[in-house]
Amino acid sequence: MNIFRLTGDLAHLLAIIILLLKIWKTRSCAGISGKSQILFAIVYTTRYLDLVTTYVSAYNTLMKIFFLGSSFATVYLIYVKFKATYDHNHDTFRIEFLILPAVILALLINHAFTPLEILWTFSIYLESVAILPQLFMVSKTGEAESITSHYLFALGSYRGLYILNWIYRYAMESHYDLIAIVAGIVQTVLYCDFFYLYITKVLKGKKLQLPA
């Protein structure tokens, strides 16, 4: 474990808590893409299958349980509890166009052709594009509540910090995983446009308005 990966995991944890609090406190999931949250639930389910077979550390196990539980809780809040506030009209990204390519790519490019490894690889590829429905929704509505933009900033930062972790691990342990690194770079790049808007607008107290 290193400081980059620890702060990355904490940023990830913070993002999930911000989102859960926003939905629970406002009793509304307006502006939140349910489709992205479904993709995240798929990502954690396919990535953490080794939860019961492999013990890495208490930290590792606890975080996996939290990510799994919170992602399903978020999907439940959006599609069941606060269904009336779910914005169907703006959450229209076709997630099958993200899932299928991730499946195909995972079958073609992986470290080992075993079920667990293929599913892990699929989850890595899917996570890199899982935020697209949310970013698409923000662009369609043309704006985002500031709490949603804080969520996106924390979520985008987590994989950015992981990139620093991978550089650190390559330098210190000469350990690297190209699949995770390439997907992590793609994932972080997708947030760049949003990061620019967040830093130039939201941090100045303005509302996040995308150019129409």
Say if residue 211 is exposed, middle or buried (CB neighbours under 10 Å; 0-12, 13-18, 19+).
exposed
Q: Which residues contact 205 (CB under 8 A, 6 or more apart)?
A: none
- 193 is a site residue for other proteins (CB under 8 A): no
Residue with smaller CB distance to other proteins, 67 or 93: 67
CA–CA gap between residue 43 and residue 106 (Å, rounded): 13
Residue with smaller CB distance to other proteins, 117 or 143: 117
DSSP string, 52-102: TT----HHHHHHHHHHHHHHHHHHHIIIIITGGG--TTT----THHHHHHH
Q: Which stretch binds other proteins (CB under 8 A): 16-24, 63-71, 185-193, 197-205?
A: 63-71
Residue with smaller CB distance to other proteins, 66 or 195: 66
From 15, 23, 31, 67, residue interacting with other proteins (rule: CB under 8 A)? 67
From 17, 49, 63, 68, residue interacting with other proteins (rule: CB under 8 A)? 63
CB of 1 to other proteins, least distance (A): 8
Over the window 1 to 20, marking each residue x when it contacts other proteins by CB under 8 A and - when it does not, the resulting string is: ----x---x--x--------
State which H helix or E strand residue 129 sits in. Answer: helix 115-129
From 7, 26, 45, 60, residue interacting with other proteins (rule: CB under 8 A)? 60
Say which DSSP state 207 is in: -
User: Do residues 130 and 36 make contact, with C-beta atoms less than 8 angstroms apart?
Assistant: yes
- 162 is a site residue for other proteins (CB under 8 A): yes
From 27, 94, 111, 207, residue interacting with other proteins (rule: CB under 8 A)? 111
Beta-bridge partner residues of 143: 209
The footprint of other proteins (CB under 8 A) covers: 5, 9, 12, 50, 54, 56-57, 60, 63-64, 67, 111-112, 117, 120, 162, 165, 175-180
